[in-house]
Amino acid sequence: MMRRWLGMKLQNRRVLLIIGGGIAVYKVLELIRRLRDEGARVRCVMTAAAAEFVTPLSVATLSADRVFTNLFDRDDEHDVGHIRLSREADLIVVAPATADLMAKAATGAANDLASAVLLASDKPVLMAPAMNPRMWSAAPTRRNHATLLADGVQFVGPKSGAMAEAGENGEGRMAEPAEILAAIIAQLAPAGPLTGRSFIVTSGPTHEPIDPVRYIANRSSGKQGHAIAAALAKLGAEVRLISGPVTIADPSGVKTTHVQTAREMLTAVEAALPADGAVFVAAVADWRVDSVATDKIKKQPGAGTVPSLAMVENPDILATVGHHAQRPKIVVGFAAETRDVVANGEAKLKRKGADLIVANDVSAEGGAMGGDRNRVTLLSAEGAEAWPEMDKLEVAERLAQVIAARLNGGPTRA
Ligand code: CTP
């Protein structure tokens, strides 16, 4: 088990934190800090009551974002709005969930921003109740709790113990930040067959500079590599994605390093070793310009000459890792071919020291390069397996399953 990349289980996951009014708010400040340590993006909505206990400024500072408080703030409605606030989250967390907020959520009231966001949301909701024990055990709160459970709301806590009010004791204390965090991680990064495994994934093209304004590139979009990184993360893996220049967003649940050139990609990959597995999806430029011009190469009008570029070979990242002293247990490469897909792929399997090669047809008719769909053949020592044409996301999910089965000693066929 390699746990080198701990602390990023929620990388790029978006948590909308609805902060109710109660003395437990002070624990929520700690929760915000821990969520951010895990890589989450935290956006906060505060009720008017919450703002009596802690200032929106403290919450804004800790969350590194503006805080939303008012349903009728014309600016908020104009540029974010309660619908978008809930839509842009992966999970809504209500902490502390007061008796009042639970009642509003259970009945569908929407008379402030917090309750309107909850009503407008189709995202999973996690509530961390905090209230006086008599309020928690009161019949209306019991009914609301049952309704919310039936609606699919998850709960963490409350706990028994001393309350902030002197002399009060019983069930109603908000769960500790560590418990709430664990519940959030369980919701957003559930355990799977790759939990505890670390992976390196390369994706996208590389850009090899010619001079300060020009470079050599290829048509890779990064879609397939990014989808594989996300699919491995969905199975529980800790994933380090090393991406060349792409225009698509960093996948959620994954730690992404951005590089430009093949040599930078190799350095980043080697720095991420050791890992349990590595998947090389990047379309790495095979050659680079031997000496990059420090100034823009100028045209020579009328001279009748054009510049010629002396090229040198780039390092082969897959082959380097496939034969590395710290070789991961499973090494997967891609083979971009325009003809003899299987024969060329099998040669690459041996030459590059890979366990699996995903061979794909990148001829113009195949449309894999830059497109959304892919037809691949999976090659391993056990033979070739042709998959039907499918969406790149489906290729990613099936490949992640095959990788998990191989690592866990299960069947090696899809
Ligand atoms: N690859 C790599 N580093 C390189 C070139 C390729 O890591 N410098 C990896 C790719 O990420 C892919 C696999 O090697 O997983 C095969 O890439 P491909 O372009 O198909 O093969 P090449 O080695 O470039 O062979 P050719 O161009 O002759 O087909």
How many angstroms from the chain centroid is the CA of residue 120? 24
Q: Are 172 and 257 found together in one domain?
A: no
Q: Examine the domain organization and report whether 48 and 178 are in the same domain.
A: yes
Alpha-carbon Rg for the chain, nearest whole angstrom, is 26
294-325 burial: b if 16+ Cβ within 10 Å, else e: eeeeeeeeeeeeeeebeeeebebbbbbbbebe
pTM: 0.72
Q: From the CA of 149, how far away is ligand 1's center (Å)?
A: 51
pLDDT grade for 74, boundaries at 50, 70 and 90: low
Give the distance (Å) from ligand 1 centre to CA of residue 316: 7
User: What average pLDDT does the chain have?
Assistant: 90
State which ligand 1 atom lies nearest to the alpha carbon of 352. 14
Amino acid identity for residue 17 in this structure: L
Looking at the CA of residue 333, tell me the nearest atom of ligand 1.
15
Give pLDDT, residue 76.
Answer: 52
Q: Are residues 105 and 35 in the same domain?
A: yes
Domain shared by 110 and 58, yes or no: yes
Task: Kindly state whether residue 302 falls inside one of the protein's structural domains.
Answer: no
- Which residue among 281, 311, 348 is best mutated to probe the pocket of ligand 1, counting the most ligand atoms within 8 A of its Cβ? 348
What is the distance in A from the centroid of ligand 1 to the CA of 233?
24
Residues 91 and 172 reside in one and the same domain:
yes
Residue with the bigger pLDDT between 247 and 164: it is 247
Give the count of alpha carbons within 13 A of 23, CB side only. Answer: 9
For the segment 333-347, the average pLDDT, to the nearest whole number, is: 88
- The whole-number pLDDT of residue 240 equals 95
**Looking at the structure, do residues 177 and 240 belong to the same domain, yes or no?**
no
User: Which atom number of ligand 1 is nearest to the Cα of residue 335?
Assistant: 20
- How far is Cα 319 from Cα 280, in angstroms, rounded to an integer? 10
Angstrom distance (rounded) from CA 198 to CA 290: 35
Q: What is the pLDDT, as a whole number, of residue 369?
A: 67
156 with 243, same domain?
no
Of 264, 318, 361, 395, the residue with max ligand 1 atoms within 8 A of its CB, to mutate for a pocket test, comes to: 318
Q: Which ligand 1 atom sits nearest the alpha carbon of residue 317? A: 7
Residue 349 lies in a domain: yes
Domain boundary among 132, 155, 188: 188
**Residue 349 phi, psi dihedral angles, 5° rounding:** -55, -50
Cα angle vertex 323, ends 217, 287, to 5°?
20
Q: Domains in the chain: how many in total?
A: 2
**Are residues 269 and 161 part of one domain?**
no
Nearest to 384 by CA among 354, 364, 357: 357
Atom of ligand 1 at shortest range from CA of 202 = 11
Using pLDDT thresholds of 50, 70 and 90, give the confidence band for residue 301: confident
414 pLDDT band (50/70/90 cuts)?
A: very low
Domain boundary among 159, 188, 217: 188
Distance 284 CA to ligand 1 centre (A): 6
Mean pLDDT of the region 325-329? 97
Residue 287 and residue 262 in one domain: yes
Residue 28 CA from chain centroid, whole number: 24
Percent of the chain whose pLDDT exceeds 90:
72
Question: The tokens of 134 are what?
Answer: 């008599």
Q: Check if the beta carbon of residue 253 is closer than 8 Å to that of residue 12.
A: yes
Do the domain assignments include residue 78? yes
Lowest-confidence segment of 169-178, 216-225, 403-412 by average pLDDT: 403-412
* 197 Cα–ligand 1 center, Å: 25
- Kindly report the protein residue whose alpha carbon is nearest to atom 24 of ligand 1: 286
Q: Is the CB of 321 under 6 A from ligand 1?
A: no
413 belongs to a structural domain: no
Fill in the DSSP letter of residue 354: -
The CATH number of the domain holding residue 380 is 3.40.50.10300
208 lines ligand 1 (CB under 6 A): no
Neighbours of 375 (CB within 10 A): 17
Which is nearest to 315 in space by CA: 202, 156, 231? 202
Domain housing 237: 198-295+307-407
pLDDT the model gives residue 1 = 41
Q: Is residue 154 domain-shared with residue 226, that is, in the same domain? A: no
Residue 363 binned pLDDT confidence (cut-offs 50, 70, 90): confident
Averaged pLDDT for residues 355-359 = 96
Please tell me if the CB atom of residue 199 comes closer than 6 angstroms to any atom of ligand 1. Answer: no
Compute, in angstroms, the gap from residue 347 CA to the centroid of ligand 1: 12
In a domain, 412, yes or no: no
Q: Name the packing angle between helices 56-63 and 25-37 (round to 10°).
A: 10
Give residue-wise pLDDT tens across range 83-132: 788 888 999 999 999 999 999 999 999 989 999 999 999 899 999 999 99
| Domain contains 81 | yes
What is the CATH classification number for the domain harbouring 111?
A: 3.40.50.1950
Give residue 373's pLDDT band: very low, low, confident or very high (50, 70, 90): confident
In a domain, 193, yes or no: no
Question: Which of 20, 46, 42 is CA-nearest to residue 31?
Answer: 42
| Of the residues 188, 221, 245, the one at which a domain ends | 188
Same-domain check for residues 166 and 205: no
| 404 phi and psi angles, rounded to 5 deg | -60, -45
pLDDT band at 29 (very low <50, low <70, confident <90, very high): very high
pLDDT-based confidence at 189, cuts 50/70/90? Answer: confident
Return the pLDDT at 361. 79
Ligand 1 pocket test, pick from 218, 266, 281, 284 with the greatest ligand atom count within 8 Å of Cβ, gives 284
Per the CB < 8 A criterion, the answer to whether 281 and 318 are in contact is no
* Stretch among 86-95, 132-141, 150-159, 366-375 having the lowest mean pLDDT: 366-375
| pLDDT at residue 405 is higher than 80 | yes
Cα 314 from Cα 311, distance rounded (Å): 9
Higher pLDDT, residue 92 or 12: 92
Smallest CA separation from ligand 1 atom 9, residue: 318
Residue 301 maps to a domain: no
- 340 has pLDDT over 60: yes
Q: Does one domain contain both 42 and 96?
A: yes
Residue 12 appears among annotated catalytic residues: no
